[in-house]
Structure 1
Amino acid sequence: MKKRYAVCGVSNRAIGMFIGPMLKTFSAHAELVGLLDIDPRRQEVCKSKYPELADVKEYGPDDFAQMVSETKPDVIIVTGRDDTHAPYIIKALEHDLDVMTEKPMATTGSDARKIMDAEAKSKGKVIVTFNYRYSPIHTKIKEMVLEGKIGRVTSVDLNWYIDTYHGASYFKRWNRIRENSGGLSIHKSSHHFDLVNWWIDQTPVDVFAFGALNYYGPEGELNPEKVDGRHCSTCEVRRDCAYDARWNTRSKTMSVKDDHLGTVQTEKAAYSTYRPDACIFDSEINIEDTYTATVRYDGGALLSYSVNFSVPYEGYRLAINGTKGRIETVEYHIPNRVPFPTPVQTIDYFPLFGSKETIHVVHREGGHGGGDPVLLEDLFLGADPNRTYDILSGSRDGAYSIGTGEAVWRSVKENRPITLDEVLQVKDSVPATV
């Protein structure tokens, strides 16, 4: 029997990741019955891409109850701006509906706690669509840890690099305002923290971190002129901006990758008042672009984490150490943007006593390292019965990834360790001290 789905937030991500596959791949299992968004133009764009949706009902941001009453969905898909996630998730749970939400599930630990409390009272359940778990490399690492290849996990080193194209895009968009996104330690790093939590099957306890705004904002060393309110597509000093010149020739317009709207919107084709080509050197930017953090887990593992949003290439370096050995892997993401030849990603396994093994993993087509297609199968067909471990994320997973991200920036701000109990408002929690 088909399940009925309604979408809150008709973003580019909603259209490409969920709506298109529902129509083209999972039409026997899923039916789209409602579209809710603050901007009617987004619904127009969605229907122009998929004319078969012409009769699907459209709703404004305050029409959630009406949408539920009229369309009777089984599942709500939440894919709007990050700060809209928690309100719609909670409303859906209050209507006893299941929820599939993009990461991050919320932008604060407080809202994550509200979601978990609402779910406990509801017949509905929350799935957080952490697609990084589904990458073939990442699932293989999970399987190796489960097999006991490295014994009890003692420490993890994870260094993540975001290149000047992708990194700058966050500072052109709504992400640059903490109130919208929770900052990049939540919007982006929650992906990374969830991976580590899942790989090692331990719960983060407390965090100490440093962070800064090194590259973007008005004090960025490559800012050609301290002027607010500029947009890349109309900027008079654009050719003096190294970030723009790196990725664009003089004869081409900007083509900013944007998870919510796709290519850059000009003044003539803007969605409401939102343009994803704001200047990366604006003074309104109030988030960091560089973090280092140490996380302690309840099973004794320690995570050494860093992320930098202005690096010449994109990818990550990972090492997981255990009582019986070590796993290493290096990824160069989006090879056509890396300014040197890159090898196919493999996994190196070092037993504590013995010879190194290099493991070649079968790579798949599809977004996020081939993870998206498999995630979609689990979402619309149900979890693969042949898989021997849990992979779909729930509200607790979402909460602890968010909680770790909030603990990072709060530690930066307050210069002290921050406990996850504090952030997630666990009863009888006590603030950490230096």
Structure 2
Amino acid sequence: MNRRRFAICGVSGRALGQFAKPIATTFAGGCELVGLLDPDPARFDLFRSRFPEHADIRTYGPEEFDRMVDETKPDCIIVAGRDHTHAEYIIQALNRDLDAITEKPMATTGEDSRRIVEAERRSKGTVTVTFNYRYAPIHTKIKEMVSEGKLGRITSVDLNWYLDTYHGSSYFKRWNRVREFSGGLSVHKSTHHFDLVNWWINQKPVEAFAYGALNYYGADSELNPRREDGRHCATCDAADDCAYYARWNARSKRAPVPDDHLESLGGQRSPAFPYTGYRADQCIFDSSIDIEDTYTAVVRYDHGALLSYSVNFSLPYEGYRLAINGTKGRLETLEYHMPARTPFPTPLQTIDYFPLFGSKETIHVVHKEGSHGGGDPLLLEDLFMGEDARRPFRILSGAVDGAYSVATGEAVWRSAKEHRPIPIEEVLGGLQSEELSLARGGRA
């Protein structure tokens, strides 16, 4: 049997843990990693140290995409570098008629999303966006309930997302804190949430209105122990006066805190990652931060549904509250992420279903092991073994799904900045919803 050949553009922590490791282990029988591309040679050294049996894999610089494809002949390009690099490597893959699997967000702007959709139309290749939250069993159950019509026609959605002081602050220690690299957190993080809503209700976003602010982080934060740029947590002499640092670190030593997003492969964490010129412990109060940490938004959909959304990146616990309302009933669910970091007992997540005229039902869902609510292992099976045909609905995300989620996130930021409702079509450069529906990347 011929194994499917993969090359990775962007040798990030996610690339190593989410893609390279499964290809080299669980799915090695049908998959093969043939090339790595990254601007930092230290990342190749890190790959070799973690996968010594693949130490001879070919490596390439950021401008050597065509050479990599010519020499290694991959079937699919995995794009997992810094967010602002995604579009160029996806488009280069499509121009070579190759498939592309990309970490979310697919791009950082609506303009780049439009370019990807148009490139996919011209290509024999397809784009898959790794929206792993779709795969969490509780989320697929919600999709099933909505698809079966238990709620009737969806009229409104309330979604409030909370990130705790550990996870939320991490985005402000890393490159995500610069809008040029991440598109801001309404794109980098909220793209997960907007995609979930789009997928659950099977409607397309039309317009967004929002407010946003930087309340907790940045130089002007009231929690900043001292105004000074260029600090790092590992060497900062104000660390003991920083409430964020003190919350998660003992004075005598750093207490490792488990987190799906921050742990390196093998569970070892270090404040200074082994990369050239980059550390993931930059000060959360630096003046270079140019993104928001709080959003409230309203999104209007093409079949009449309205989304009320908020996200906060500095709260005492992590999770979300969701309610979906329809002409036949309502569902509610509350999830606490990372119970080990929550300073009180947390219940197992269930779904409460309220018929419009009837008695409440509580639905217990079989929970699965694995990160992102048990979604990651199921996503990987679809990526590397083919999508499970037994499901009654599509779940892998395509380029159109990625475009709508990015465009909604950009519309939220632009609305907060410009103080006006932002049409999604405007963000996508005039790409009409009818045109998007004809694209091969649409997988509602």
TM over 0.5: yes
- The amino acid that maps onto 2:80 is T
Question: Which of 321, 338, 344 does residue 334 from structure 1 map onto?
Answer: 338
Tell me if the contact between 2:260 and 2:372 (Cα under 8 Å) persists in the aligned partners.
Answer: no
Q: Which amino acid aligns with 2:142?
A: I
SS of residue in 2 equivalent to 1:58: strand
Per-residue CA distance 1:294-319 (angstroms, 9 max, x = gap): 00000100000000000000000000
From 388, 411, 418, give the equivalent of 2:392.
388
Aligned to 2:194: 193
Residue by residue over 1:321-349, the C-alpha shift from the partner in whole angstroms, topping out at 9 and shown as x without a partner, is: 00000010000000000000000000000
Deviation at 1:428, TM superposition (A): 7.9
Contact kept in structure 2, 1:264 and 1:276, CA below 8 Å: no
1:204-250 per-position Cα deviation (integer Å, ceiling 9, x unaligned): 00000001000000111110000111000000110000000000001
Matches within 5 A, 1:243-254: 243-253=244-254
- In the other structure, the counterpart of 1:432 is none
**SS in structure 1 of the partner of residue 162 of structure 2:** strand
Cα offset, 1:265, TM superposition: 5.0
- What are the within-5 Å matches in structure 2 for residues 264-279 of structure 1? 265=270, 270-279=274-283
Of 44-53 and 178-187, more deviation after overlay is shown by 44-53
For residues 115-135 of structure 1, give each alpha carbon's deviation from its aligned partner in whole angstroms, at most 9, with x where no partner exists: 001111111100000000000
- For the residue of structure 2 that corresponds to 1:232, the secondary structure is coil
* Structure 2 counterpart of 1:28: 29
How far apart, in 1, do the equivalents of 2:246 and 2:184 lie? 26
| Partner secondary structure for residue 15 of structure 1 | helix
| AA of the residue aligned to 1:400 | Y
Superposed, 1:136-175 pairs within 5 Å as 136-175=137-176
Offset from partner CA, 1:389-434 (integer Å, 9 cap, x none): 10000000000000000000000000000000000012589xxxxx
How many positions carry a matched residue from both structures? 428
Distance 1:264 1:283, change over 3 A: farther
Q: Tell me how far 1:28 sits from its aligned partner.
A: 1.2
5+ residue gaps, structure 2: 434-444
Q: Which residue of 2 aligns with 1:207?
A: 208
* CA distance in 2: counterparts of 1:296 and 1:197, whole angstroms: 11
Question: Contact (CA 8 Å) 1:264, 1:277: kept in 2 or not?
Answer: no
Write the letter of the residue equivalent to 1:194: D
Secondary structure of residue in 2 paired with 1:171:
coil
Q: How much does 1:259 deviate? A: 4.4
Mark the CA change 1:21 to 1:258 in structure 2 (over 3 Å): closer, same or farther.
closer
Asked whether the equivalents of residues 232 and 254 of structure 1 are also in contact (C-alpha less than 8 Å), the reply is: no
1:130-172 CA-to-partner distances (Å, cap 9, x unmatched) read: 0000000000000000111000000000000000000000000
Q: 1:125 to 1:420 in 2, by over 3 A?
A: same
Matches of 1:357 and 1:38 in 2, distance apart? 53
In 2, distance between residues paired with 1:272 and 1:428? 43
For normalisation by structure 1, the TM-score amounts to 0.96
Q: Equivalent residues in 2 for 1:38-57 (5 A)?
A: 38-57=39-58
Determine the structure 1 residue equivalent to 2:239: 238
Quote how far apart the aligned CAs of 1:101 are.
0.2
Aligned equivalent of 1:288, options 282, 288, 292: 292
SS in 2 for 1:168: helix
The answer to whether the Cα contact below 8 Å between 2:146 and 2:152 also exists between their aligned partners in 1 is: yes
Q: Which residue of 2 aligns with 1:311?
A: 315
Task: Give the Cα separation in 1 of the matches to 2:96 and 2:13.
Answer: 26
Q: Which runs of 4+ in 1 moved over 6 A?
A: none
Secondary structure, in 3 states, of the residue corresponding to 1:234?
coil
Q: What secondary structure, in the 3-state scheme, does the structure 1 residue paired with 2:133 have? A: helix
Does the 8 Å CA contact 2:206/2:299 hold for their aligned counterparts?
yes
Q: Note if contact 2:114-2:431 (Cα within 8 Å) is conserved in structure 1.
A: no
Aligned equivalents of 1:260, 1:315: Cα separation in 2: 17
1:16-165 equivalences under 5 Å are: 16-165=17-166
Distance 1:264 1:276, change over 3 A: farther
| CA distance in structure 1 between the partners assigned to 2:269 and 2:175 by the alignment | 13
Q: Judge conservation of contact 2:187–2:410 (CA < 8 Å) in 1.
A: yes
**Shift of residue 52, structure 1, vs aligned partner:** 1.4
TM value normalised by structure 2: 0.94
In 2, the alpha carbon distance for the partners of 1:46 and 1:54 equals 8
Deviation of the 1:261 alpha carbon: 7.9
Q: Are 2:106 and 2:406, in contact at CA under 8 Å, matched by a contact in 1?
A: yes
Q: Name the CA distance, whole Å, in 1 between partners of 2:6 and 2:339.
A: 36
Instruction: Give the match's secondary structure for 2:234.
Output: helix
Structure 2 distance, partners of 1:417, 1:348, is 33
Displacement of 1:255 in angstroms is 5.3
Structure 1 portions without partners, runs of 5+: 430-434
The Cα offsets for residues 28-62 of structure 1, whole Å up to 9 and x where unpaired, read as 11000001111111111111111111111011111
Is the Cα–Cα contact under 8 Å of residues 160 and 315 in structure 1 kept in the other structure? yes
CA distance in 2: counterparts of 1:25 and 1:266, whole angstroms: 30
Deviation at 1:253, TM superposition (A): 3.5
**Counterpart residue type for residue 345 of structure 1:** Q
How far apart, CA to CA, are the structure 2 residues paired with 1:280 and 1:291?
A: 18
Q: Take 1:396 and 1:332, find their aligned partners in 2: how far apart are those partners?
A: 30
Letter in 2 for 1:79: A
Using the alignment, how far apart are the partners of 1:428 and 1:396 within structure 2? Answer: 12
CA distance in 1, matches of 2:400, 2:306: 20
Contact 1:209 / 1:411 at 8 angstroms: preserved in 2? yes
* Alpha-carbon distance in 2 for matches of 1:228, 1:158: 35
| AA partner of residue 88 (structure 2) | P
Matched with 2:436 is none
Give the Cα separation in 2 of the matches to 1:33 and 1:71.
6
User: Equivalent of 2:356, from 327, 348, 352?
Assistant: 352
Tell me if structure 1 keeps the 8 A contact 2:260–2:371: no
Query: Per the alignment, do residues 191 and 266 of structure 1 end up closer, same or farther by CA in structure 2, a change over 3 Å counting?
Result: closer
Give the aligned residue type for 2:161. Answer: W
Structure-1 separation of matches of 2:367 and 2:45: 36
